[in-house]
Amino acid sequence: MKFVFEAELQHQVAAIDAVIDLFAGQEERQSLFTVAPRQVAGELEYNEKLLGYANRCDLLDEQVLENLHIVQNRHALPASPELAVAAKGKRDAGGDFKMDFTVEMETGTGKTYVYLRSIFELNRRYGFTKFVIVVPSVAIREGVKKTIEQTRDHFRQIYDGVPFESFVYDSGDLSRIIDFASSSSIRVMIATVQSLGSKAAVFQQAREQTRDIPGVEWVKSTRPIIIVDEPQSVDANPNGAGRQIMRAMEPLATIRYSATHVAKFHPVYRLDAFDAHDRGLVKSIEVDGARIQDADNSPYVKLLEVEVKKGQLPRARVEIAKQMKGGVSRQSVWVSDNDMLEETSGGRGIYAGYRIGIIQKMRGAGSMQLVVPGDGVKTLDVGDSWGDVDAASLSRAMVRQTIEHHFKKELRNRPLGIKTLSLFFVEAVADYRGYDEDGAAQPGPLATIFEEEYAKLAALDEFQSLFADVPADASRAHDGYFSQDKKGRFTEPALNAAGELSNQKSRDDAERTFDLIMKDKERLLDEAEPLRFLFSHSALREGWDNPNVFQICSLREMASETRRRQSIGRGLRLCVDQTGQRRRDEGLNVLTVVAQESYAEFAKGLQSEMEQALNVKLGIVTADLFAGLTYALPEGGTAVVSVQESKAVFQGLTEAGLIDDKGHALPELRTALAQNAVPLPADLPEPAAKLVRDMLHRLARKVPVSDARAKGQVKLNLAVLEGHDFKALWDRISRKTTYRLDFDDAALVARCAQALADMPRPGEARVTFELAEMLIGREGVTPEKRSTSNPQRLAAARLDVPDLLGELQNRTELPRKVLADILVQSGRLEDASVNPSAFVDAVTAIIQAGKRLMMTNGIVYKPLDEWWAQDLFSAEDDIPTDRLVPVAHAPLDHIVTDSNIEAALAKALDISGAIKVFAKLPSGFKITTPLGTYNPDWAIVRKHDDREDVYLVSESKGDLNTLREAEKAQIACGKAHFAALEVPFVTATNLDGILALA
């Protein structure tokens, strides 16, 4: 199988032309120089002297700047004010950068092809022959080398077989540098920045092989054009070794290619992540996120971050299983040294004795000690957890989910001649492969899990057609791609804080590995090759990808590092079939990411990483937001929205009040879009206007319906407040009461024990995968949920059952004897060992429900000689206007509503001829109940022919039949309270209900 390269892909041709046109006006020519040690040149024989060939550019700075402006305008990029620039906006020790240009291309869109073809074009147009490709790692170097091999025939056809030679810089073979300088045809040197720029680099030393002239001097004499691949990892530091060695080569020009530039110098082309996704140039992304349930039966603690501020003690943000009002849920909380987690968790007994130890930021992102009763002190680094579900159990579920996705994609892809690959990212080599004392390879736990789950899924009827010709063989379906030592054993690379290989042994091991991976690239795509599942880790973070990776499963923590975008980059390329042709079939190119976190958390984290990497703020309108949007012209071809057009759109939106001063879309934008009334420049072509409106629609989707900026004021309506009708109403309803309960323990025990006996078995820990498509645009990363998997059982950490009676007593406030009677009579005590947390939650809910029923049935209220003051009604400022309903027959001139139903009822009460006065009772009007305080909604005076009656509407919801048990109990208490005051009490949700019951 051989890759087929397309010569006329619009986005690639545009990127190539952007670089070529920078030198418009340059004649085709080279410079000659004598290659020999200067101090002895006159003593050498003629045949010992060599002629060197160098790039030559005769353009003046003014001409280059004019060319640059033409290119930037063509691609709707901000114009550089002058040619001399400095990285990050400040001039460093190396002076100004004139001929430094950046090309931004999203991962998977072919940037390596683009800069290799640009070399040929620069040679054809201007005669340039000397190029140096500088890369940050062995992985990328080998990727470039492989792409050159793959494209050799392709470029030979396009450029009529022009002579072209490339080589990887090797400090052990410096003779290639002399050939580089002396050849008159295209020469390309590929080198890692470490091999050129380290303190001990041979490249900067005079050696016999290079005629006692440092290699850097030979290269400098050629005035090379330097191409930097992933410059953010090569020369982001203005005074680092990478920047210094590139200056020392005195290049004619430096062109940097990346998806995430740190220093952008002169931008000449941009194809960012949003453009690539919008134009279908990369795979779309869906995330199958893990949602873990009923796994909080252990003292779970996860360290999320460590914060150290000057003058303050260190503190840590941890995630724990905390007791909340609705049950136990995982919450993040801040803790300090010596904090007791039982208190922090809301009194959960499973945390008894767990204490926070020393918190420090001495180890990377930080660490925290956790004092575990009976098990000593555990040190957690950021991202580590204690007491979570069994890691192997969760990994098994994720592996199974990935294999299932893979088989389903393979059923679709194989008839199309497309091989399906899946990639697993693991935390450590030992998770996949181990070695015994004799050095013999042994499967690691993940390899064993994979083969077991593969065999089970392969046996299902729905996947039998995949194995009709070749029986399923799990052992041949997977392999590992890790660094290898000289004996071929997988090794764990030594990485520095930046995630780079930190010593020569690790670099040597990696070089052997990546050579193997690159040589296997076509074999991996051959349908006859059984290998389909690849296991690797951070060593594949860049420089390696395969177009037919359709699944990526991250069996490592992603939330604590910026790994989401990095990981999905390995599978973004559009797939190829068995003939090497790129396939763009509708719905075919979808990358499925199986993640440990929920799809919502993944989307949030991915957006944060994209904002950081691209130095943008998503979801806001800026002056250049629309610049560069590509649209089709009616007569054929394409055009882009210019910088000036984008600024005009931005100005129109601002002047129309559709965005705020920070660029956030306002509710008025939603209205204007619905009415097709968004002010766009009159001369903006309709295809461009449609693109702008589409983007604004996506931005407006996230805008709240209400306008939170608009604030209003609520004033006293003294005519009502001081009137006879309202005073009479207040006199009757404002008296306070006290209550007593009348029920016996035996009845409560019997009721609760029966309910407990009938309850379902507490759920065991399980994981459900929720699949969502990631919609990626400048309005942000928006997940759209599509499906939910069947739950899979997880093994959770098994601990002793906590003090059930103590835990239940804290939650229910019932005596231990009553609780013990309920548990014993229920016959369900054994279930406590299955999932103690879920069991306690369920028992608590049942007992609380029983208490509510018994209390409300037996509650008796008695009036007190205390009253609520009428000054509970007071003026208010800064109330959102969408919550205000103006009224004339209430003690305040506006009703502050909490729902549309309340708003409708307030309007109806105010205009009804049957209602004399009414009031929405203030929040301070609280009736005491055994279940907390209760604040009824309305007090109303209704007209009658011969009397006036007072009514209270207890709820203003759409359906009183769907109230929760606690709400029903509180309403019952409210009814008993007003019965003691001889005030009628009704429950209704609209005016008709009030009038009918009154």
Strand partners, 186: 164
Note the pLDDT tens digit of each residue in 150-188: 999 999 999 999 999 999 999 888 889 999 999 999 999
Residues 6 or more apart in contact with residue 648 via CB below 8 angstroms: 681, 684
Question: With b meaning 16 or more CB within 10 Å and e meaning fewer, what string describes 741-755?
Answer: eebeeeebbebbbeb
The CB-side HSE value for 759 (13 A sphere, CA atoms) comes to 26
**Do 962 and 956 meet the contact criterion of CB atoms below 8 Å apart?**
no
Phi-psi region of 936 (alpha: psi -120 to 50; beta: other; left: phi over 0): beta
760 close to 789: Cβ distance less than 8 angstroms:
no
Half-sphere exposure of 623 (CA within 13 A, CB side): 8
- Phi/psi of residue 890, each to 5°? -135, 165
Specify the 3-state DSSP secondary structure of 932.
Answer: strand
pLDDT in tens, 746-763: 888 998 899 888 887 776
Please indicate whether residue 762 or residue 915 has the higher confidence score (pLDDT): 915
* Distances, alpha carbon 584 to alpha carbons 69, 282, 451, 568, in Å: 34, 10, 32, 19
Give the residues across from 422 on adjacent strands.
Answer: 533, 551
Q: What is the 3-state secondary structure (H, E, C) of 634-692?
A: CCCCEEECCHHHHHHHHHHHHHCCCECCCCCECHHHHHHHHCCCCCCCCCCCHHHHHHH
Backbone angles phi, psi at 408, to 5 degrees: -65, -40
**How do residues 838-881 score in pLDDT, each as one tens digit?**
788 788 888 888 877 777 777 889 999 999 999 999 999 888 88
Give the Cα-Cα-Cα angle 158, 162, 166 (nearest 5 degrees). 105
Does the pLDDT at position 558 exceed 70? no
Cβ atoms < 10 Å from Cβ of 858: 13
347 vs 844: CA distance, rounded Å: 14
Q: Label the pairing between strands 932-934 and 590-595.
A: unpaired
* Residue 457 to residue 463: CA distance in whole angstroms: 8
Stretch 916-945: mean pLDDT? 88
Q: How many CB atoms lie within 10 A of CB 575?
A: 28
pLDDT at 800: 55
Q: Looking at this protein, which amino acid is placed at residue 429?
A: V
Q: What SS3 class is residue 517?
A: helix
Pairing of strands 894-896, 948-953: unpaired
Q: How confident is the model at residue 38, as a pLDDT?
A: 47
Alpha-carbon distances, residue 475 vs 418, 454, 459, 519 (angstroms):
22, 9, 15, 22
How many Cβ atoms sit within 10 Å of the Cβ of residue 953? 25
Confidence of residue 46 (pLDDT cuts 50, 70, 90): very low
**500 or 221, which is more confident:** 221
Angstrom distance (rounded) from CA 712 to CA 718:
19
Tens-place pLDDT, residues 237-277? 877 888 889 999 999 999 999 988 887 789 999 998 888 98
Token couple for 600 = 């919502």
Strand (E) or helix (H) holding 479 = strand 478-480
* Token couple for 810: 């804290």
pLDDT value of residue 633: 86
**Could you tell me if 916 and 948 are in contact, meaning their C-beta atoms sit under 8 angstroms apart?**
yes
Distance of alpha carbon 376 from alpha carbon 289, whole angstroms: 34
d(CA 966, CA 970): 6
- For residues 578 and 528, the answer to whether their CB atoms sit within 8 Å is no
Instruction: Using DSSP bridges, classify how beta strands 478-480 and 533-536 pair: parallel, antiparallel or unpaired.
Output: parallel
Q: For position 588, what pLDDT does the model report? A: 94
According to DSSP, residue 583 is labeled -
Q: Mean pLDDT, to the nearest integer, of 473-497?
A: 76
**Which pair of tokens denotes residue 97?**
């950068």
pLDDT score of 568: 84
What is the arithmetic mean of pLDDT over 598-605? 86
pLDDT bracket for residue 363 (50, 70, 90): low
Of 12-26, 158-172, 763-777, 833-847, the one with minimum mean pLDDT is 833-847
Q: Which of 53, 97, 27 is nearest to 219 (CA)?
A: 53
pLDDT score, position 560:
45
Average pLDDT, the chain: 85
Q: Reduce the DSSP state of residue 482 to 3 states and report it.
A: coil
168-172, 295-299, 326-330, 945-949: range with lowest mean pLDDT: 945-949
Q: How confident is the model at residue 40 (pLDDT cuts 50, 70, 90)?
A: very low
Place 899 in a pLDDT band, splitting at 50, 70 and 90: confident
Q: What is the DSSP string of 849-917?
A: HHHHHHHHHHEEEEEEEEE--GGGS--EEEEEGGGEEE-SSSSBSEEE-SSHHHHHHHHHHHH-TTEEE
Q: How far apart are CA 766 and CA 762, in angstroms?
A: 12
Residue 415 in this model has a pLDDT that exceeds 50: yes
* Alpha-carbon distance values, 859 to 735, 818, 930 (Å): 18, 20, 9
Q: Are strands 421-425 and 533-536 parallel, antiparallel or unpaired?
A: parallel
Using an 8 Å Cβ cutoff, are 670 and 676 in contact? no
Contact 472, 454 (CB under 8 A): yes
Using CA atoms, how far residue 321 sits from 340, 347, 386, in Å, is 14, 11, 11
Q: Of the ranges 54-58, 60-64, 650-654, 666-670, which one carries the lowest mean pLDDT score?
A: 666-670
Q: How many DSSP H helices and E strands does the chain contain?
A: 29, 40
3-state helix, strand, coil in the chain (%, to 5): 40, 25, 35
CA count, 13 A, side-chain hemisphere, 232 = 14
Would you state the pLDDT for residue 736?
Answer: 95
H helices of 388-430, in order, are 391-413
Mapping DSSP onto H, E and C, the string for 598-642 reads: CHHHHHHHHHHHHHHHHCCCCCCCCCCCCCCCEEECCCCCEEECC
Mean pLDDT of 793-810: 72
Model-level pTM? 0.72
SS3 141: helix
Between 649 and 964, the higher pLDDT residue: 649
Residue identified by tokens 């083969």 is 451
Tell me which DSSP letter residue 415 carries. Answer: G
The 10 Å CB-count burial string (b at 16+, else e) for 164-200 is: bebbbbebeebebbbebbbbeebbbbbbbbbbbbeee
707/684 Cα distance (integer angstroms): 30
At 348, the pLDDT band (50, 70, 90 cuts) reads confident
**DSSP code of 285?**
E
**Does residue 797 register a pLDDT over 50?**
yes
For residues 699 and 327, give the distance between their C-alpha atoms in angstroms, rounded to a whole number. 36
Q: Which of the 8 DSSP states describes residue 370?
A: E
pLDDT at 236 over 50: yes
Residues comprising the chain, all counted: 998
SS (H, E, C) 805-857: HHHHHHHHCCCHHHHHHHHHHHCCHHHHHCCHHHHHHHHHHHHHHHHHHHHHH
Contact 184, 35 (CB under 8 A): no
